[in-house]
Amino acid sequence: MITCCNSLNVNSPFLLTNSSQQLKKTMHPYLHQSKLQKRSSDVTTRGMKVAAYYGLKTPPYELDALEPYMSRRTLEVHWGKHHRNYVEGLNKQLSQNDILYGHTLDELLKVTYNNGNPLPEFNNAAQVWNHDFFWESMQPGGGDMPKLGVLQQIEKDFGSFTNFRDKFILASISHFGSGWVWLVLKRQEKRLAVITTSNALSPILWDDIPIICLDLWEHAYYLDYKNDKIEYVNVFMDHLVSWNAALGRMARAECFVNLGEPKIPVA
């Protein structure tokens, strides 16, 4: 049985809403709910209703921590408005559809993609997933060279880090319209690859394992770089990309894909 207290704890997996509404428009930004709960688990206590929805996950750094390469203003608009709108839009859709309750966000993407015939909830769900992954693909003091086994795997699959970097940048600037560029691990081929996806599409729909990604939507860079996407992509590779995050993701990926040598070390 679910119980709740009168005050709202930001670490709680639930959102407290008035009994007359299931979702507050202004969701607490530090609240992250990784799994939806069924509406049957909602309870009413002293006029307050507990309803579980997805929360807006915060980047793993302060909003000004990526300056001067990505400004606080960009994070405030991109994360604080665009990303938040995707979360709120998804929650509004889910509040009207019991069928989709009970899925992790990964599962929700695949279910709503519906084998290439996306349901209305897909775009918001995929944009939430992609943005969470994007923020965690950067770090203050990022860029430079990948480390240890990640560098070795890149050299094995691309010939050199320079070849990989050139391929990543070319894919980014050649992509037409809105979308994403990814470094992924192909499960069947057991190799790394650079791919792009359009609009909200994500590599997990095809069972690829994402390692890093860069948002190519114009709102990701326009405030800092205007229409200079080439500069934005180069700055990402030189100063923002988190090879520490890539190292952890590759270590996890090796639990599912036997890459042989080199082994990705776990700290």
Annotated ligand binding at 219? The verdict is yes
175 known member of a binding site: no
Crossing angle of helices 148-158/243-253, nearest 10°?
80
CB 212 within 8 A of CB 193: no
β-strand 179-186 against 43-45: which pairing, if any?
unpaired
Q: What is the secondary structure of 30-87 as a DSSP string? A: T----B---GGG-EEETTEEEE-----PPPSS-TTTTTTTS-HHHHHHIIIIIIHHHH
Structure tokens at 82: 């665009």
Work out the angle between the directed axes of helices 122-135 and 84-94 (0-180°, nearest 10). Answer: 140
CB distance 216 to 229 below 8 Å: yes
**261: its two tokens:** 């040598």
- Per the structure block, which two tokens stand in for 226? 């205007």
Nearest to 210 by CA among 112, 132, 121: 132
- Is the sign of the CA dihedral 118, 246, 85, 35 positive or negative? positive
Distance, CA of 26 to CA of 76 (rounded, Å): 15
Q: Among 4, 26, 1, which residue's Cα sits nearest to residue 14?
A: 4
Q: Does the annotation list 131 as a binding residue?
A: yes
Residue type, position 6, single letter: N
Sequence ranges of the binding site for Mn(2+): 78, 131, 215, 219
Sequence ranges of the binding site: 78, 131, 215, 219
